[in-house]
Amino acid sequence: MTYDVILHNIGQLILPKTSDYPLKGQDMKELNISEDAALGIQDGRIAWIGSDAQAGSLKSTERIDAEGKVVSPGLVDPHTHLVFGGSREHELSLKQAGVPYLEILAQGGGILSTVGSTKKAKEDELFRKASFHLERMISYGVTTMEAKSGYGLDADTELKQLRVIKRLKEKYPISVVSTFLGAHAVPPGFKGKEEEFLDEMAGLFDVIKDEELAEFVDIFCETGVFTIEQSRKFLQQAKEKGFGLKIHADEIDPLGGTELAVSLGAASADHLVAASDEGIRQLTEGNTVAVLLPGTTFYLGKDHYARARKMIDEGAAVALATDFNPGSCVTENLQMIMSLAALKLKMSAEEIWNAVTVNAAHAIGKASQAGSLDVGRSADFVIWDVPNYQYIPYHYGVNHAQSVYHSGKKLWE
């Protein structure tokens, strides 16, 4: 047979383990690296994996020479706030003056400032702006990602954001998973009436399901935002409607959002900087993925990072994401997050690669399609201009992607 594409002369092929469950503990520490592998691609899928010597005798329409460089699955970014209006560079001086993140929010800034800009923006404008950021993510090696709403906090603007995400799914070949985060903050008119607000947001579940606008529902469970009890009720309602669950949990105060996520069977619990020992213990028992966002801790200027070492060593599943958003982490660069994971979370290169591929895919329900390379899977891969897989976390702040492929087609170089 003649393959569409043969990818050969690969220095190191990164092959995260495919698994029905997220990789936990010891399994996260292992990463299969092949130094003599080649790929055959047919109709956008991997049709053959064998040795470089065998590849020499195979016929193909096109041959890609990886020039002895590193090839990995396309990266998966499982937590982004991709769609928003405006920007918040004016808040940098407040941060420098030491005004805490939740204080800026309480004063009507922060998330609420972006809510104002997002309400004002026309759908097409949001679409153009989100396309720009999404294309930059692709350029950094991402071929599967999640995108949240949450800068509307009213029916019209939340649905407008979700429609933008739906249009992005249609426009781009990469896989985009959509999350409804209507419970991202308490709008000024609802202070003290949080339950009423959450009922209003839960009132959108049916239309979101009917129009296939989101796969997941998320909530910001935090001091001054939504309590554990409010979050439990809201997520329980979402679960009954058939949504997957996510939660912004234990980011600043240890409210117990981690435990809540595990008890509800959430796909992920995100942030977890303040997760308790008991929360971490419970993570090891369930299949909820701990999505860690060290870029946010860095950008908020904090010294205390999520306890990734304890989580992994005790047997939890960890993934990494950018948390790209206009306030607490303004970067599309998942490679930068890989460096922060090495330096601040003390994760090994093997753990980091598993965290941005297979475990990130599990966190957004995409593990059967994304996060690893295997016969039958979509040929989503990145050729990295680096000498070995440890090099990316090591050399930080720049883009090491040389070319990015989805379904065997080049998306970026």
Q: Tell me which of 133, 160, 163, 248 binds ligand NIG, using CB under 6 A.
A: 248
CB of 404 to ligand NIG, least distance (A): 25
H or E segment to which residue 338 belongs: helix 334-343
Q: Name which of residues 288 to 307 contact ligand NIG (CB under 6 A).
A: 296
Question: Counting contacts by CB under 6 A, is residue 332 touching ligand NIG?
Answer: no
Question: What is the C-alpha separation between 250 and 273, in angstroms, rounded?
Answer: 6
Which H or E element spans position 215?
Answer: none
304 is in an annotated binding site: no
Would you count residue 327 as binding ligand NIG (CB under 6 A)? Answer: yes
* Shortest distance, position 279 Cβ to ligand NIG, whole Å: 17
CA distance 371 to 127: 26
Q: Does 121 bind ligand NIG (CB under 6 A)?
A: no
In the complex with ligand NIG, the residue whose CB is nearer, 296 or 402, is 296
| Percent of residues in the chain assigned helix, strand, coil, to nearest 5 | 40, 25, 40
Residue whose pair of structure tokens reads 């303004």 in the numeric block: 330
327 labelled ligand-binding: yes
* Residue 328 marked ligand-binding: yes
User: Can you tell me the distance from the alpha carbon of 404 to that of 7, in angstroms, rounded to the nearest whole number?
Assistant: 13
| Nearest of 309, 289, 291, 296 to residue 340 by alpha carbon | 296
Torsion angle, alpha carbons of 138, 142, 143, 146, to 10: -110
Residue 180 in the binding site for ligand NIG (CB under 6 A)? no
d(CA 65, CA 384): 12
Q: How far apart are CA 388 and CA 69, in angstroms?
A: 7
Does 323 sit near Fe ion (CB under 5 A)?
yes
Residue 124 CA to residue 116 CA, distance in Å, equals: 17
Whole-number CA gyration radius for the chain: 21
- 323 is an annotated ligand-binding site residue: yes
The arrangement of strands across the sheet holding 268-271 comes to 75-77, 142-148, 175-183, 216-219, 244-249, 268-271, 289-292, 318-320
The reply on whether position 322 binds ligand NIG by CB under 6 A is no
The count of chain residues that interact with Fe ion, using the rule CB under 5 A, is 1
Residue, CB closest to ligand NIG: 327
Q: What residues between 65 and 84 interact with ligand NIG by CB under 6 A?
A: 81
Nearer to ligand NIG (CB atom), residue 150 or residue 393: 150
Query: Of the candidates 323, 332, 350, 351, which one interacts with ligand NIG according to CB under 6 A?
Result: 323
* Part in contact with ligand NIG (CB under 6 A); list of ranges 135-143, 257-265, 320-328, 405-413: 320-328
158 binds, among Fe ion, ligand NIG, none (CB under 5 to 8 A by kind): none
First-to-last CA distance in the chain? Answer: 29
CB of 64 to ligand NIG, least distance (A): 37
Which residues contribute to the site for ligand NIG (CB under 6 A)?
A: 81, 110-111, 114, 220, 248, 251, 296, 323, 325-328
Which residues contribute to the site for Fe ion (CB under 5 A)?
A: 323
